[in-house]
Structure formats: C-alpha cells, structure tokens
Amino acid sequence: MNSSDCSQLPAPAEHPRLIIRTCAEVLENGHRCGCAANRGERFCRHHIDWRKRRLRMLQAHRLLGHPRIPSLLDLRTVREAQGRLRYLRDAGYLDTGAAATLLAGLQMAANNLRFMEMAARWREREEEYG
C-alpha cells in the first residue's frame, strides 16, 4: 500500500460528543471528580452521599456539643470516661471502630492505674511490716 492509497480512505466518522454533566467535587489532589453527576444535581452519587453524611455529622456535633472526657487522673475518672464513650457509641455519635479503639486504650489506662494503686499498697505494707 503506498501513500496514494491512504489518501483515498474515507475519513473516520466523528462520534457526537455526549453532553453529560460531571461531578463538581474537587478532590484532595486539586482535580475534579469527573464522574457522571446525578440527574438534576451537581455531584455524583458518591459525593452526594458523602455530603449528606458530613452534614448529619455536623448537625450531631452541634446538638451534642463536644463530648467532654474527664482528665484521666485516677481509676474513677477512667471508668467515667469509659461510660461516656459507651453512651456516645450506643447513641450513634461515635463510630464503633473508633469507640472500640478508645475503649481499649481506656481499659489499658485502667489496668495501669489499678496496678499502680496495688503497688503503692504493697510498698506501704512492706514499710509497715518491714
């Protein structure tokens, strides 16, 4: 096939451009999402759900305020903090995974405080009988 044969080929048919609105969400890297937007919306299904979830979380924070966790100075305050975290988890204000991690940390703090109190008692008894 020589160059004169190529010039006789028909031009490729141009496909009509589809006019689809794309998602207007700007990602962390600065680019737009680019997925097809839902009908009558500016965002795709994923980002609409994400925005609804974020709005519900903000409303819950406004209603709840910032949950106050007491200073973890002794075993009583650690137990109080555990109770508050369980309440927040059960009420749906705190993700179960995050609550489990925080409760595990508080359990370690409780165990450490309990051991420190027992060690102090042992030292007192040693001094008393020693």
Q: What is the mean pLDDT of the chain?
A: 83
Q: pLDDT tens-digit profile of 56-88?
A: 888 877 766 666 777 888 889 999 999 989 988
Distance, in Å, from the CA atom of 130 to the CA atom of 118, rounded to the nearest integer, reads 17
Q: Is the pTM of this model over 0.75?
A: no
What pLDDT does 28 receive?
A: 84
Annotated domain spans of the chain: 17-65, 67-130
